Amino acid sequence: MKKPQIETFFATLQAANPEPRTELEYSNHFELLTAVLLSAQATDVGVNKATRGLFAVANSPQKILDLGLDGLEQHIKTIGLYHSKAKHLLATCAMLVERHGGQVPRDREALEALPGVGRKTANVVLNVAFGEPTMAVDTHIFRVSNRTQLAPGKTPLAVEKALLKRIPKAYMVHAHHWLILHGRYVCTARSPQCNSCAVNACCGYKDKNIGKNKCQAKAKP
Q: Where are the beta strands (DSSP E) in the chain?
A: none
Indicate if 82 and 145 belong to the same structural domain: no
Can you say whether residue 158 is alpha, beta or left, with left for phi > 0 and alpha for psi between -120 and 50 degrees? Answer: alpha
Distance CA 104, CA 139 (A): 25
Spatial contact of 80 and 45, defined as CB atoms under 8 Å apart: no
User: One of 3, 66, 138, 206 is an active-site residue; which one?
Assistant: 138
pLDDT classification of 114: cutoffs 50, 70, 90: very high
Distance CA 91, CA 89 (A): 5
Q: Which residues contact 215 (CB under 8 A, 6 or more apart)?
A: 1, 5, 200, 201, 202, 203, 204
From the centroid of its chain, how far is CA 219?
Answer: 31
Indicate if 194 and 165 belong to the same structural domain: yes
Q: Has residue 214 got a pLDDT over 90?
A: no
User: One of 2, 66, 120, 154 is an active-site residue; which one?
Assistant: 120
Q: Is 27 exposed, middle or buried (0-12, 13-18, 19+ CB in 10 A)?
A: exposed
Indicate if 116 and 36 belong to the same structural domain: yes
Domain boundary (130, 148, 170) is at 130
The pLDDT tens digits for 149-195 are 999 999 999 999 999 999 999 999 999 999 999 999 999 998 899 98
Distance CA 164, CA 153 (A): 13
Indicate if 71 and 57 belong to the same structural domain: yes
The domain spanning residue 42 has which CATH number?
Answer: 1.10.340.30
- Is 120 considered catalytic here? yes
Domain boundary (114, 130, 146) is at 130
Range(s) of the domain holding residue 174: 3-20+135-219
Q: What is the pLDDT of residue 80?
A: 87
Task: Give me the phi and psi of 135, to 5 degrees please.
Answer: -135, 105
